[in-house]
Structure 1
């Protein structure tokens, strides 16, 4: 058994305490990897206790300090790793005085700082970057009859005009990563998840889990339910990262989304499934273009997605278990 763990090698996961990173680390440890996770404060036991409780953590997890905005701070964490999973990315707070500066600079510069550290590491085989499906769908020429695939890129001009700062930050950060890796001959693969749903390993809810909780409690103001959205299980996102890291023929970008539905389809499904929760019956119709995702590229590697019902069932069970939601 010990030999199996040795053979999987050492990898780095940035932003280790995050929603996705925690799941990714869980899956990497279960697969037998030695994981170096970067966090802002390795001494914050309250925030990191869920990582230390993971199976294999005591034997094969190290948490080290690194800061996205500090060049060189990832050098020690990345040196000697064969793979780097860059998941860390700023999320915009609702009450922000300068959203553009708060999210764009950290996303782009943070990504480049990680890439610069990767360039110094002679052991590196591949980087897997967590991007977003928002990097493909902010366009004004959407054809409702043609699903979006990895060849599509969001329009910077549209993102700026509509102030879609998250999509803009992910688009510019991914483009910067591709340019850097091409220039430095580094093997990069990117995963583009849609809206990620599922159980949270950390007791502190991330933005997406808070949004789901609000929806289940009947609140819709200030939330991300903006017309039509793709959804994907958190475990599928973690597993897809490992798949493209391990698969020799993986290349380029990979959309990661189980199903795209309209808001009203979603609340209809949720209301039928959870009749005891005050879920809104309908949303105000939004004039948003119809689109779907073509995920055949990831499926061609043998990937199968969990259903939208399963991801919400798992999310609700987790919210109840952690005391955020009553099971009434």
Structure 2
């Protein structure tokens, strides 16, 4: 079945690659934006996807260049905006993280505005835009009506969270003013197989945890987790579902680090998974995901996401199980 043409920004990324895989399997024609379409090593995993030779086109676009998404987006009925600024060593967070995240999002949306065929934009946000706040009742699960506090993010200097929150807010403002049909997907920490051969920070954090590192994971404290395939399927569901509107939390299970490592150690006794973590005193919270579940969505379990992730890490030679 031909579903028409959609654009995916930041096509070579961890999540975007998996979404493209799912879109191609569903019969879509996909235009993916990348920084360098000639980089065969970085893009080989996309060309190897089923349906890619027939229905995938990769074009050059830069988040920071005004108008650079015009060609990719023109003629598409849907746009999945997943590209986010590449984070290196940061000296000026406002200039290097926040501005590119907000301006990059607005850049993509300005190109969307020029496209008369556009039906809907799906923006990938993050559960960090929901959970960083003071004085919430831990007995009431957080839902789509919750927003992270900009002031608290600034005070704690959590620039990534601030960039995601401000970018999503800017998107809502722009789309409301310009009559663009926007839906946002708000995934928690994404776990699952990595199609790109080089691991993104999310996947390398998990690899570190499985190899006994506590440093990067200790900042999680309590965290929501979700299977990468669920996030991709959720994007397609809210794109295709006529009545879908607003924000959609996409998270399977919220658990503490200690609980997570005991589940993983029981399942993978030969891996050097840390036994416990120092407690950072993070507030207890749960997510209420009934909004996406009402569209008929069912989430995979924590075991499934880590099983699939570990199988992929072993297959790609990043991990060996004694």
TM-score (norm 2): 0.98
Render the CA deviation track for 1:162-185: whole Å, top value 9, x for unaligned: 011111101000000000000001
Q: Is the CA contact 1:192–1:256 (under 8 Å) kept in the aligned structure 2?
A: yes
State the match for 1:199 in structure 2. Answer: 193
Q: Decide whether the 8 Å contact of 2:192 with 2:229 is kept in 1.
A: yes
**SS of 2:215's equivalent?**
coil
1:35 corresponds to which of 16, 26, 30: 30
Aligned position for 2:153: 159
Shift of 1:143: 1.1
Please report how far the alpha carbon of residue 225 of structure 1 lies from its aligned counterpart in structure 2 after TM superposition.
Answer: 4.0
How many residues matched? Answer: 322
Instruction: Tell me which stretches of 4 or more aligned residues in structure 1 moved more than 3 Å.
Output: 222-225
Confirm whether residue 21 of structure 1 aligns to residue 4 of structure 2: no
Q: Are positions 1:326 and 2:315 aligned together?
A: no
Pairing of 1:262-301 with structure 2 (within 5 A)? 262-301=256-295
Match of 2:238 among 226, 233, 244: 244
Which whole-Å CA distance do the structure 2 matches of 1:17 and 1:92 have between them? Answer: 15
Structure 2 distance, partners of 1:91, 1:168, is 15
User: What is the distance in 2 between the residues matched to 1:262 and 1:92?
Assistant: 27
Residue 145 of structure 1 is matched in structure 2 by 139
Q: Which runs of 5+ in 2 are unaligned?
A: none
2:49 maps to what in 1?
54
**2:61 aligned to 49, 60, 66, which one?**
66
Query: How well do the aligned residues superpose, as a CA RMSD in angstroms?
Result: 0.9
Listed one character per residue, the Cα deviations across residues 186-242 of structure 1 (whole Å, up to 9, x for unaligned) are: 100000000000000011101111000000110112446421000000000000000
Note if 1:122 corresponds to 2:116. Answer: yes
Please list, as runs of the form range in 1=range in 2, the aligned pairs for 1:152-191 lying within 5 A after superposition: 152-191=146-185
- Cα distance between partner residues in 2 of 1:200 and 1:219: 20
- Structure 1 residues 240, 48: CA separation in 2 closer, same or farther (over 3 Å shift)? same
1:230 and 1:258 in contact (8 A); partners too = yes
Question: In structure 2, do the counterparts of structure 1 residues 224 and 206 end up closer, same or farther at CA, with 3 Å as the change threshold?
Answer: farther
Distance 1:78 1:137 in 2: 32
TM-superposed deviation, 1:327? 2.0
Find out whether 1:87 has 2:94 as its counterpart: no
**Structure 1 portions without partners, runs of 5+:** none
1:101 lines up with 2:95 in the alignment: yes
For 1:102 and 1:219, locate their aligned partners in 2 and report how far apart those are by CA, in whole Å. Answer: 28
User: 1:19 deviation in Å?
Assistant: 0.4
Give the match for residue 209 of structure 1: 203
Please give the secondary structure, in 2, of the residue aligned with 1:85. Answer: strand
Give the 3-state SS of the residue equivalent to 1:64 in structure 2. Answer: strand
* Partner-residue secondary structure (3-state), 1:204: coil
Does residue 132 (structure 1) correspond to residue 126 (structure 2)? The answer is yes
Note if contact 2:218-2:257 (Cα within 8 Å) is conserved in structure 1: no
- For residues 145 and 218 of structure 2, the distance between their equivalents in structure 1, rounded to whole angstroms, comes to 25
Q: Which residue of 2 aligns with 1:253?
A: 247
